[in-house]
Chains A and B, each alone.
Chain A
Amino acid sequence: MTDFLQLFLSGLATGSIYAVAALGFTLLWQASGTINFAQGDFVMLPAFMMLGFASFGLPLLVAFALTCVVSVLFLGWGFKRAIADPLLRFGMMPVIVATIGLAIAMRAGIRAGVSAEAQPFPSLFADRLFHVGGVTVTLADVGTLAIALLLVFGTQAFLSRTVTGRAMQAVAQNTDSATVLGINVPRMIFYTFAINALLACAAALLVTPTYLAKFDMGESLGMKAFFAAIIGGFTNSRGALLGGLIVGVAENLAAAYVSPAYKDAVALVIFMLVIMFKPEGLLGRKAERKV
Chain B
Amino acid sequence: MKNRVRAIVLVMCSLVMVAGVVYADLKKGYYSPAELGSMRQAAPMELLPDSNYQAWAYAVPAVDLAPGDGLQEVQIYCNTCHSPRYITMQPPLPAATWEAEVNKMNKTFGAGIPEDSTQKIILYLQAHYTAENRKL
Question: Are A and B associated in one complex?
Answer: no
Interface on B for A, CB 8 Å cutoff? none
Binding site for B on A (CB under 8 A): none
